[in-house]
Structure 1
Amino acid sequence: MNRIRRIMKKGKTEVFALCLSILLSCAMIFVGFRFYQHYWQQLITTEESQLQTMAEIIGNNLDTYLNQQLHEINLYYDASERSAESTNFAEVLEDSIPFFLEQNENLYNWISLTAPDGRVRRYAPGKMPATEEKESSFSQKTAQQAQITGKAISSETGWYELYIQKDIRGKDGIYRLKLAMNLETLYQKIVAPVKIGQHGYSSVKDQNFYIIMHNAKDQIGLEARTDRTRLYPTLDYSSMDAWLKKQGEEDRGAALVDTYDWSDPAHPPVRRLVAFQVFYLQGERWIVNSTLPVEELSLPLDSMMRTLMCIIVLYILLLILIMVFVLRTRFQAEAQQKEIAYLKEINHGMETVARQNDEIRHYQRVQSLGMMASHIAHEFNNYLTPVMIYAELLENEEALSDENKEMVHEMLTSVDKASNLSKDLLAFSRQDTGVRLEPLNFTKEVQRAIMIVRQLTPAAITLTTEILEQPLYVLGRKGMAEHILLNLSKNAFQAMEASERKELHITLCAVSDEKLRLEIRDTGCGIRPDALKKIFEPFYTTKGSRQGTGLGLSVVQNIVNSIGGTIRVESELQSGTCFIVEIPLIQEGEGAQGEEQRTRLQRVSRIALVAQAETQKQWRSAAAKTKRTLDFYGHPAALIDRIQKNPDAYELVITEYALPGMNGIELCEIIRRINPKIRLLLVAEQSDADYEWYLNNGIVDRFMLKSEFHTEFSELLKE
């Protein structure tokens, strides 16, 4: 029994929902119909106003243009009149007419000149002047300004010509100019460019309702009512009669008119929205019509309303069900998507952390190797010094036999090679040892280094340079350019020992505003493809253990890498090798510490902050009112994934030292490798000597104690 009641109750609910939906649908249909009526009336009113404005603009433009042409004729030929006393006026006048026609291209069909003796010459564009019959009725009068004397349909063009007359006083009497203006050109220039929808147009009638300009050429010259009745007797003109009467009695107006498509030979009926404006041209009344088919207005609206009615019915029936289903599904999906996206970011970030940790461990192993090599080389050099001194003393001993001197010389040669190995080991171990980077004029550094290279260049080798004179500033260490060039030049000298053409070319230029390029190109034997992959590895050499240590290129690479640069090699066997070094540029004066660092930090707008939960609370309170973009991260992996996807996402990263999964130094090293341009600020509880080392080597840009950071961070964000 209870089950039956529940079913009935459920059925009543469904019936109620159905009735409510039907009522809502009817209400929406009624509202839609009323909306349609209101919108249609509003659309007609708006379009009438726009058409009225267009007709007024066209009328004003025609009036202005024609008066401007009359004024131009007066100015042009009044100037000719002033020269009548000093020259042959008739020749001057005749010569000026072709130029006037050329300047007013296609505007005038012809110009006739009547001399005081009645002789008439006609000028037309592109034709020779023609002499016409004398005007017997021509009488001498005073000079007059240009004025419109009438209009007629041209037998050549089928369009109206507007006749303008200008009387000019010459030395021997009055000359009369008659200009035939082509109203087709005037229509195309003034009326036709005013576009009215897709099928709308404008036309012009005179005060007698003769059509002067029209988009349908066969309508030109017809009287709007009488001639059309004669040509098309079967058409209904009742609506047009009322419209023409309105145009005869008023100077402006708009209405819906039942007319015909005069551009279609079948003349189908069409209802048009028409507006007119009257303007007066030297006393004559001209009427400008602007018209647009009503169908062009109503079709989109009717289609929209039909579609809207269908949508309303379906919308009411399905609205509640769809909204509940979609919203619930969407909220669930969004929650899942956010969770999945965050987990993906963490996963990608951890993968990146693992790869970067491998690189860091490799770097630390190389660093340890360098420290060990430094110690060995130093001790080795101490042991070699007395051996070298005593060997030199023995070699200079006169009592020593030649055979023994030869053995001592061999000993000195071996000691010298061992000393060179010791120096290379020291150079390898001392690279990137924490010497503070400073702004350097790299151009001067290279020029000084080239002077040394030139002194060491063998006579058989031709050294050429192409050094940019403009100062190029980098953040580096003094002497690094000399170290780079000497190492690479020494390799080039050895590579060209067996070459017929021995040329070494050094180039320094600016690739862009952001980096410079240093090229060392030789014509040596080249490098094998398999060796190209290994030449920058420590202790790898192609010269044999007796000729080289394999540390030179490794030293050069690490010097370049330590200042944010890159080095690569291009080589072709038996043709030569080119080492290309690219180093980031700075502006002159950049690289200073202290206040300038603070100024640079003030300019950043996109900041990422990486900290644990408790620290984040403090930093969020300090950044509550800032206008900068601040993103907080609790795990460094999420930030690494974001920067990998978009390296320019942030201008500044602020991180505390203690982080989950890695420390702040390791995070800074990873970010520096992805995008060296990001500013990195490390915050820690207490200072440490290692922090200074990372600061000097550009791993971080600034170090601050936590106790100082909160206050300065708050002030920084307020500025």
Structure 2
Amino acid sequence: MEKQNMQRKENSRKAIVLLSAGILLTSILLALSLYQMLSNYQNRVIEGQTQQMTHLVRSVTNSIEVYVEEYRRDLRIAAGDISHFYEDMEVDKESLLCYLREQVAIRGNNLGCAFYETAEGERFFSAPFENWDTVREMYSDDEGEQMELVRTGQRDFYLRLSAKTVSGGRLSFFLDIRAMYEQTASYITLGENGYIMLKASDGMILNHPVEEQIGIDVIDDRQAEYPDFDLTELAAMVDDQLAGKTGTAIYESYWWAEEEPSRVRKISSYEPAHLGNDFIVVSAVIDYSELSIPIRDGMVRILAVAGSLGAMLILLLVGFVRVMLRMRSYEAENARLRQLNEQLEALREKEERLAHQQRLQLLGTMTGGIAHEFNNLLTPIMGYSVILLADTEPTSERYADLQEIYDSAKKAKEIIDQLSQFSGKNAEKTFRSLPITQVIHKAMVMVNSIIPRHIRLENRLSDTEAAVWGNPTQITQILLNLCNNAIHAMKDVEQGELVVESQILTPDKKKHPFFRGKEKKLFYRLSIRDNGCGMSEETLAQIYVPFFTTKKAGEGTGLGLSIVQRIVEAHHGLLCVTSAPGEGTEFVVYLPLERPSEETIKGGKKL
């Protein structure tokens, strides 16, 4: 015994070691997988940010192009108005100056200056304006319209739009680059340190959040000021920008806002804004660490938490293994008890099914006996009624009473036959060839008599003659039972609708397995459809069980659908039902036809 205990302890230790090693290896693999997943997530975030920056830059370039084009249009209109200030070839100086000032006032700070130079060289300014130097000629056409990039001082840049007037002079609008930036891009925020800058197509910075950067060359002047800085990656990106390309780049650069610029990794999206024959580069810049560092910190925290959880998991699993090893001796006993319990449960279910079958057999026997006794009682009633009817004149008052006795006894006998049908006795003895159309039409007369006022009965029965091998009373009972159930289902419906429909058709084996091998036969299809309360799937599974009913006590016995199913099966037919809560119910009966006539065959449809 002691040796077995030692062996068990040794096995336990080995199991714990192997389990711990497995958990450790799994934790490492999970950590690597998590790191890879988070790295992919970081790349997707950065990719999404660059796409967003691309859309923002495109929006700014479109706004700049539209902004400049609007001023070019306004310039053409204003150039045409200049001729109104000439009289006898002499210019009305006061009116012209007022007009130029009005042009600036209308546009606020966006227009730096409006300037007109006559053909003789006389100049008129809307306000005092410094001398300017032309940086680049951006557009010129044969009609005298020009666009130039000019500067006044070190850091003030303007787009000079000019057009020739009818009088031979030239009207110019000076668009302030700063004001243009405020109108088209100042509303955009890119992280904590991000910004949007404008560059000329030769690399000169036209707008930058750091004032000292405006007016310098983006590469040459910076390299001259900081000769030890590595601007290789920045220069490669600027080459693409000055070539008029659109794109994004992740590169090493510096934060120029700092007194001693520090090296930093940036993300930039850029696109040219085409103005005339030239362009201005619009570039959005954001700090790469603003995106990567939070994600990286999150990755570290997640990995730390995952490691802690892994260590705790190892401890928990070691304890769990010890408990499981102690409980192993109980598992066999528990399994044996469960198996015994399942066997007892199965035996109990079998006993319940057997008892239920015995109750049904007893009920069938009792029903058959009761039906037999009632037949014995009804036979002399019907017999003597016939004798009395034969001895009584039809005009006599007693004749109608005797006829009523006979008819009532006959109906009672038909009910007894239905009980016999439920009991399984004498099911086939009254079968014969029936004109099914006539039988159903006669049964509909009885249905009409039991329809309440709030229910509308719609008769869609086919008039095509057809014959089935069956019992007319039983077929009538099918229709009455199904219609009675439909009426009960619509008792709480304000406007009930009961549709009874029939047709002759050829079955399709895909519709139901019952029709396999019967594709060449014709069937009489009888449908009873209502818009009542409907039934759930749980109810549908039990509707054919004898004595199962959803009606209140005293309203039903639960035998109606069970009898209908037995009758349909005795007629070698099929009974189908479709229903859903709140959507009504439809019962469909399929009965095989006996020797169909040519009219029936022609009237048949495909199921």
TM-score under structure 2 length normalisation:
0.47
Q: Which has the larger radius of gyration?
A: 2
